[in-house]
Amino acid sequence: MTPLKLRKNAAEALKVVRELVRARAGGRVEARVAADEAKLDYAGFMGAAHELQGHGLVELEESGGETLRLTDEGTEYAKRGLPERRMIDWMVSNGVEEIPVTEFLEKVGLEPRFFYIGLSNLKKRRWVAVSKATERESAYPLVKESPPPTALEELINWLAANGPAVLDSIPEGLKGEVATLRRRKLVKVDKGARRYLVLTELGARTVPEEVQELVEMAQLTPELLATGKWREVSFKPFNVEALGPRLFGGRIHPMVMLINEVREIFLSMGFTEIRGPVVESAFYNFDALFVPQDHPAREMHDTFYLSRPSRTKLPAKVKVENVRKTHEDGWKTGSRGWRYRWSREEAERALLRTHTTATTVRYLDEVVKSGAKLPVKVFSIDRVFRNEKVDQSHLAEFHQIEGIVVAENATLADLIGTLTSFYHKMGFKKVITRPGFFPYTEPSMQISVYAEKINKWLEMGGSGIFRPEVCAPWGIEEPVRVLAWGMGLERLAMFRFAEITDIRDLFRSPVGWLREVPV
Ligand code: PHE
């Protein structure tokens, strides 16, 4: 029989295991204990253990699963209560009915970090509501007494009383809260089961001193050749299937790629790109679009008005007058107007544009002044802002794909044709338009496309033919008409990058996604 050859670490590991189980076949030792004893790091020791297993000298066994242990923060909460509990108890015991949030923070005696964690959980549990209706943000308790302990609190107490626990040992009713504990970083999870080495019959019989040391070389070196030592060593076989390290180079952000794609399509359809200011006047954002000055969409909850600058410059006086007259009595457009006194001040207010239609309507002036040959076809892909509550499907700043066609006798069919061909080029075969409403278009249409991949209609945006009330102030009159549309870019992105389920990730840019997303 050829003598057994083992690498140095494996021979050492065998020696240690035999010592620890007194060379008794079936004897068991935990891998970490043996690794310490052999003075090897765990990974190195496990490499040796696998070699021993390959020779049938030991068997490897595993037991247990993840162990949960309270973090320092978790332990603190077990002792003193979760921040939300301490906060609601404080409110109840002080008979608070309403308290400005800043005062709450001062009085309840929690560090700001914990205070805000607590506040957010109080809202989630509906123990407290926070309202911005008053001048200062205020908190209101929604319960009269301290609520009974939650499952989360019971779990924390259970862990505090029972010490680190294997997942399986946690009482059924409390297991559901483990995810929350982990999210709030109140527990640490020790992964990886415990591993054991069990000495086999063969292992018990094999005396390490009789084992020959195996020298395995990864590379043939000039020294090995020159000394003739290559004859004695064995070489590690090449693993031709092993994956090389992955390299990630810089690349264009997926949203920029998508914007470029949309841009290419409009350019290929004969459009020219325009851009307009982000800080707009209410005039272009609303008035020029025949949106009355008391329209609810203008109010603070939708529009970010600016305080610096708070006023903007309006275009030439005649144009402003035309818009005023159109609002007040319809001027020469055939409309009766909105029948109120139009205010120049209101129109001068500075805001962050809420739609890129502000940019296209700005351009109408340009079209007439430059005397450009019709048809004029322009588009814009740009950022807009709305005071929306940000969550996984809403952003307060996003992009619109906007465009106009100015042409003689342009019809709704031309508009449908243009949009359909754009979406065809984006890969959507079915496009549907339905009646819609915008104060600045008549007729107006909603545009939806059919996404085969998910078997759903996606609503993409609005469109229509600008009303005479929008066109006339700039000198655009029948038979010249303006076809217009404004569509969401993020809508397209969420479909294209289906692996993104939280819209905020498009801008948070998780690096894993950025690396993997196909070009
Ligand atoms: N501005 C509209 C929006 O933001 C879209 C639109 C643009 C509708 C042009 C009609 C014409 O939803």
Q: What is the mean pLDDT of each run of 10 residues along the chain (519 residues)?
A: 78 94 92 92 90 93 80 92 95 92 93 94 93 81 93 93 81 89 89 85 89 76 86 78 85 95 98 96 97 87 89 94 97 95 96 96 94 95 94 94 97 97 95 95 96 90 97 96 97 89 90 86
Give CA–CA dist 128/134, Å, rounded.
Answer: 16
Ligand 1 centroid vs 462 CA: distance in angstroms? Answer: 5
Residue nearest to atom 4 of ligand 1 (CA): 355
The pLDDT, as a whole number, for residue 440 is 96
- Tokens representing 453 are 């991949």
C-alpha of residue 508 to centroid of ligand 1, in Å: 27
The number of the ligand 1 atom at minimal distance from the alpha carbon of 355 is: 4
Closest approach atom of ligand 1 to CA 400? 4
Q: Where are the alpha helices (DSSP H) in 371-498?
A: 412-425, 468-471, 489-496
Q: How far is ligand 1, taken at its centre, from the CA of residue 444, in Å?
A: 9
pLDDT at 288: 97
Would you state the structure tokens that stand for residue 244, as one six-digit string?
């090389």
Euclidean distance between the first and the last CA atom of the chain, given in angstroms as a whole number:
59
Query: Hey, what's the torsion of the CAs at 45, 48, 53, 55, to 10 degrees?
Result: -160
Ligand 1 environment, Cβ below 6 A: 355, 357, 438, 441, 461-464, 484-486
Long-range contacts of 12-16 (CB under 8 A, 24+ apart): 12/38, 12/40, 12/48, 12/208, 13/38, 13/40, 13/45, 13/48, 13/49, 13/52, 14/52, 14/57, 14/58, 14/203, 14/206, 14/208, 14/211, 15/208
3-state secondary structure of 227: helix
Structure tokens at 140: 């209101």
Contact between 412 and 443 (Cβ < 8 Å):
yes
Task: Give the separation between CA 474 and CA 367, rounded to whole angstroms.
Answer: 9
CA distance 271 to 410: 16
Residue 245, number of CB atoms within 10 A of its CB: 4
Q: Whose CA is nearest to atom 12 of ligand 1?
A: 462
CA distance 157 to 15: 45
Measure 355 CA to ligand 1 centroid, in angstroms.
7
For tokens 């929350």, the residue is 180
Cα 230 to ligand 1 centre (Å): 78
Q: What is the largest CA-CA distance in the chain?
A: 110
Cα of 415 vs centre of ligand 1, distance in Å, is 13
Please tell me whether residue 137 adopts helix, strand or coil conformation: coil
Q: Judge whether 183 and 62 are in contact, CB under 8 Å.
A: no
> What CA dihedral angle connects 312, 345, 293 and 472, to 10 degrees?
-70
Q: Is 307 left (phi over 0), alpha (psi -120 to 50) or beta?
A: alpha
Q: Which atom of ligand 1 is nearest to the CA of 463?
A: 10
Q: What is the pLDDT of residue 134?
A: 67
Ligand 1, atom 10: closest residue by C-alpha: 463
Pocket test for ligand 1, best of 357, 395, 463 (most atoms within 8 A of CB): 357
Q: What Cα–Cα distance (Å) separates residue 138 from each residue in 104, 135, 469?
A: 9, 9, 44
Q: Would you call 264 exposed, middle or buried from its count of C-beta atoms within 10 A (0-12, 13-18, 19+)?
A: exposed
C-alpha of residue 371 to centroid of ligand 1, in Å:
26
d(CA 420, CA 487): 13
Q: Which residues contact 204 (CB under 8 A, 6 or more apart)?
A: 18, 23, 24, 25
- Residue type present at position 213: E
Distance 461 CA to ligand 1 centre (A): 7
Expressed in angstroms and rounded, the spacing between residue 356 Cα and the centre of ligand 1 is 8
Nearest Cα to Cα of residue 311 among 270, 361, 353, 346: 346
Q: Which atom of ligand 1 is nearest to the CA of 485?
A: 9
Q: Looking at ligand 1, which residue's alpha carbon is closest to its atom 9?
A: 485
| Residue 517 contacts residue 509 (beta carbons within 8 Å) | no
Tell me the CA–centroid distance for residue 101 and ligand 1, in Å: 38
Q: What is the CA(405)–ligand 1 centre distance, in A?
A: 14
Joined together, the tokens standing for residue 486 give 């404004």
Residue 391 CA, ligand 1 centroid: distance in Å: 23
Pocket test for ligand 1, best of 362, 397, 438 (most atoms within 8 A of CB): 438
Alpha-carbon separation of residue 391 from 70, 100, 333, 388 (angstroms): 30, 24, 43, 9
pLDDT of residue 1: 52
| Cβ atoms of residues 463 and 483 within 8 Å | yes
The whole-number pLDDT of residue 192 equals 66
